[in-house]
Amino acid sequence: MATLIGSTALNKLKGYLTAPAGLNANLAALTEPGAAIAAAIQIVSQNAPPELADRAGAVQYPAVNVYCEKLVNDQREKFLSFSGTVALAIEVRHSQDQMDGIGDALEQYVDAVTQTLTASRGDWGGGMYFAGNYQVSYGPVKRGGKNFLQTAKVTFEVGASVS
């Protein structure tokens, strides 16, 4: 039951990110006219470090990985089989050949992600609810990808009450 709840929440998140008014639309709205933006960002459901992903095959940057970090059944509603939270993560990875501007570009992608999350506040259906709280953490610039790589991780919780 718990893995089904995590998968369901993850699929709902991917639906919001890939919707016509989702991540790519928000990114296009944030980009200045005439500025170069990446092709449509692909969203992958996996929790793999960038080093492993780079070795496993051709990774397209920017990369967005979504995954379920944790399920907490704290029995807020006593007679349901699951009543608690689903912790989800969106990891944004940006790579480029020069270090200058990598942080600014990554912040733009993160802004598009957080705008998409803000627009998805409320009832997600199936007993799931997103209140709108999230946390963003930025990693340091490292070697990887096209030469330099920086990641940001957006984490948040979805409330779930499933019988």
The tens place of each residue's pLDDT in the chain, 163 residues long, gives 666 899 999 999 999 999 999 999 999 888 766 555 556 788 888 888 777 877 777 678 899 999 999 999 999 898 899 999 999 999 999 999 999 999 999 999 999 999 999 999 999 999 999 999 999 999 999 998 888 999 999 999 999 999 8
Instruction: Give me the phi and psi of 6, to 5 degrees please.
Output: -65, -45
Range of the domain at 123: 2-162
Q: What is the CATH number of the domain that holds 135?
A: 3.30.70
What is the predicted pLDDT for the residue at 33? 62
Q: What angle do CA 86, 93, 87 make, to 5 degrees?
A: 5
Is residue 46 classed as helix, strand or coil in its secondary structure?
Answer: coil
Is the preceding omega at residue 33 within 30 degrees of 0, hence cis?
no
What's the CA gap between 29 and 109, in Å, rounded? 11
Number of domains within the chain: 1
Residue of 40, 35, 8, 9 lying closest to 112 (CA atoms): 40
Radius of gyration of the chain from its Cα atoms, rounded to whole angstroms: 17
